[in-house]
Amino acid sequence: MSEGSIVLGALAPHPPHLIYAENPPQNEPRAECGWEVLRWGYERLRRSLADKSFDVLVVFSPHWQTMVGTHFLGVPHFKSISVDPIFPNLFRFHYELDVDVTLSEAICEQAAQMGMVTKMMRNPDFRVDYGTIISCHLTHPAWDKPIVAISSHRSAKLFNTEYMQANALKLGEATRKAVLASGKRAVLLASNSLSHRHFVTEPPLPEDMSKEHITHHGQYLWDMRMLDLMRKGKTRELIDLMPDFTDQTIAETDSGALSWLIAALDYPEYGADVHAYGSVIGTGNAVVGWDHESYGGRS
Amino acid sequence: MSVLSGWLVPGMPHPYLCPEKNRGWQKLRTAYETARQSIEALDADLLVIYSTYWPSIIGHQIQALPNPVWTHVDEEWHELGSIHYNLRMDPEFAESCREACVARGLHARTVAYHGFPIDTGSVVALKLLNPDNRLPAVILSSNVYSDRAETIVLGKACRDALAQSNRRAVAISVSALSNRLFIEPIDPAEDRIHSLKDDEWNRKYLEFLQLGRLEDVSQLSRQFHREARVHKVTNFKPFWWLAAFMGQNNCYRGEVHAYEPVHGTGAAIVELTPTSMAARDLEYDEDDPDAYAGDRNVLGSLNDAPGMDGDDES
């Protein structure tokens, strides 16, 4: 078996608003427009993937929240409807997807060997979280590739962001080792926003873009600083700043998703492609790609 | 109009799905059965539930689908099994609550969608307290950003809606006491409260509740949050809502039916029955807001005020 590889890594946030505005047939609500810049960014991400072959999408989602370790989907096929508990008016999505259970188990086992608490999710009635679904759909709407879905261990809340990050980095390393050993070609998705202070009200027309802006200038400055580090390939500095950034902007990086991605990519020193940045109900979101294979699959 | 009784119940699925694995979980299950019988003996018209297991961001959400049907699996405890539910909601009262919330300045909306993910806590409470759907229910979300004033106003809005409807309700807060849990799998037989400190705070709270001092407990919520809660949200809110909904006093007969650990968390089933006998040591010393006018935002500039409805752009 040839060695596996990480084809591409992406920061692929999951605001349900982007699906809502995109109007895919799977989603029940219909929109007139909205959040185009971010959706165009996802278009560019998809274009960057178009000429690459890959076997599996591995996604780390902040919206599968677990307290007792990190969990992995372990059922081969799911079909259901996902309704966003926060924005049910925007996201009621009929999904059907396959899971690469073999790779899930491999990452789960590798992380366990490295000292992490892990668990496979084997209940066929389980509903896949909307973060996983949205990031996968916007990255690869054909749904013709299996996924591996990884939960977010809420250690930032249980302990602190430093502890969270230490675990996320270890999980990233475990993911890289398992992918390389699998012989598969994987695309990795960190399904999180950057700054994450929401508005607590919604305009009557959710896609009214005259109401959309970042919640706070300070959040914008922090987001730009993090994106600048990504563009310059300064991922070690990015990781060093992550706890402070997370605490200052109540960022969704508290999930560990972005730290996991950077570690899985082995701290790339090449510049990332920032495909788009925009706010969604006040939160800061960026679509960012690390074209890992073009750089020899190395940092 | 009246709230016939108020309850604190835990939302972890263990007492429903696998009570046999731990004596404490079985005691909670038995206490749930006692609670069901107690509620059944009342001449109530509906159940009003505030669940800390249902977070919201856009104001306050109120479940209004008449008959939610689903097979629920908890995102954490999926190995314990699935819970099929077929619930009976009260859309009319849900809408009344929404209107009352808006009248008091809150952002609120009803939700009525097939497949909406009703939270584990509400599902467990309804399966055990109202298994035959004898009473219709309303479920209220817990806004992650809201703090005391907003939550108290939410409780008052529910009270307004109840007064307007001229109905008799049972109030239920679904919440753990201390919520720090073990982050590794445990042998169920060896479950215990995560720390002595958490246990002591839980017992102090239960001592007050046993005396019927609901308002005093409500006013201790911030302290309890600091001492015995993992800070996943801004504050510990279930007693703010419960006290506001029930009338903001200490005039209750309290009964602690069970207090047990569930994977390290403090799980209690407590009944509060209104009585004319007031508990002693009343310490009503906090603001008593009647309407919500937004965050005071004392540390930020005017431009920092969150809001997406355009009001903040003037």
Residues 6+ apart with CB under 8 A from A162: A243
Q: Which domain holds residue A165?
A: 5-295
Read off the pLDDT band of B263 (50, 70, 90).
very high
The pLDDT tens digits for B199-224 are: 999 999 999 999 999 999 999 999 98
The pLDDT tens digits for B30-82 are: 999 999 999 999 999 999 999 999 999 999 999 999 999 999 999 999 999 99
B57 contact A CB<8A: yes
pLDDT reported for residue B310: 45
A202 contact B CB<8A: yes
**E strands present in chain A:** 5-11, 56-66, 70-73, 77-83, 92-98, 118-121, 147-153, 185-190, 273-280, 283-290
Query: How does strand A77-83 pair with strand A283-290?
Result: unpaired
Q: Are A164 and A155 in contact (CB under 8 A)?
A: yes
| Chain A residues touching B122 at Cβ < 8 A | none
The pLDDT tens digits for B37-51 are: 999 999 999 999 999
Read off the pLDDT band of B286 (50, 70, 90).
low
Mean pLDDT to the nearest integer, A169-195? 98
pLDDT beyond 60 at B306 = no
And the tokens for B162? 């109840």
Percent of chain B beyond pLDDT 70? 90
| Chain A residues touching B59 at Cβ < 8 A | 200-201
Query: How does strand A118-121 pair with strand A70-73?
Result: parallel
The pLDDT tens digits for A129-141 are: 999 999 999 999 9
The pLDDT tens digits for B105-164 are: 999 999 999 999 999 999 999 999 999 999 999 999 999 989 999 999 999 999 999 999
pLDDT reported for residue B95: 98
The pLDDT tens digits for A12-43 are: 999 999 999 999 999 999 999 999 999 999 99
Task: Answer yes or no: do A88 and B306 touch at CB < 8 A.
Answer: no
The pLDDT tens digits for A41-63 are: 999 999 999 999 999 999 999 99
Give the number of other Cβ atoms within 10 Å of residue B280's Cβ.
8
- What ipTM did this prediction achieve? 0.94
| Chain A residues touching B115 at Cβ < 8 A | 80-83, 92
Q: Are B55 and B144 in contact (CB under 8 A)?
A: yes
Task: Answer yes or no: do B113 and A92 touch at CB < 8 A.
Answer: yes
The pLDDT tens digits for A111-158 are: 999 999 999 999 999 999 999 999 999 999 999 999 999 999 988 888
Query: How does strand B83-86 pair with strand B69-72?
Result: antiparallel
CA distance A62 to A197: 15
pLDDT reported for residue B313: 34
CA distance A52 to B227: 52
Residues 6+ apart with CB under 8 A from A41: A275, A276, A277, A278, A286, A287
User: Residue A208 in 3-state DSSP?
Assistant: coil
Size of interface A-B (CB pairs under 8 A): 124
| Chain A residues touching B309 at Cβ < 8 A | 201-203, 211
CA distance B254 to A257: 45
pLDDT reported for residue B311: 43
Greatest alpha-carbon span in chain A: 56
Here the contacts of A159-167 (C-beta below 8 Å, separation 24 or greater) are A160/A243, A161/A242, A161/A243, A161/A246, A161/A247, A161/A254, A162/A243, A164/A254, A164/A256, A164/A259, A165/A239, A165/A242, A165/A243, A165/A256, A165/A259, A167/A70, A167/A116, A167/A256
**Domains contained in chain A, number:** 1
Residues 54-93, chain A: which have Cβ within 8 Å of B?
Answer: 64-69, 71, 80-83, 85-89, 92
**Closest residue of A to B312, CA-based?**
A211
| Chain A residues touching B304 at Cβ < 8 A | 216
User: Residue A83 in 3-state DSSP?
Assistant: strand
Query: How does strand B252-262 pair with strand B265-274?
Result: antiparallel
A205 contact B CB<8A: no
Instruction: Identify the helix (H) or strand (E) that includes residue A105.
Output: helix A101-113
For an interface test with A, the pick among B113, B181, B263, B297 (most A C-beta atoms closer than 10 Å) comes out as: B113
The pLDDT tens digits for A197-213 are: 999 889 999 999 999 99
Here the contacts of A180-184 (C-beta below 8 Å, separation 24 or greater) are A180/A3, A180/A4, A180/A5, A181/A3, A181/A4, A181/A106, A181/A110, A182/A4, A182/A102, A182/A103, A182/A106, A183/A1, A183/A2, A183/A3, A183/A4, A184/A4, A184/A55, A184/A56, A184/A100, A184/A103
Greatest alpha-carbon span in chain B: 60
The beta-carbon neighbor of B307 closest among A69, A129, A199 is A199
Read off the pLDDT band of B292 (50, 70, 90).
confident
The beta-carbon neighbor of B71 closest among A125, A200, A212 is A125
Q: Which domain holds residue B258?
A: 2-313
CATH number at residue A97: 3.40.830.10
**Domains contained in chain B, number:** 1
Region of poorest pLDDT, from A74-88, B7-21, B214-228: B214-228
Helix orientation angle between A257-264 and A235-248, rounded to the nearest 10 degrees: 170
pLDDT beyond 60 at A261 = yes
| Chain B residues touching A64 at Cβ < 8 A | 75
pLDDT reported for residue B314: 31
Q: Are A169 and A256 in contact (CB under 8 A)?
A: no
And the tokens for A126? 């389980």
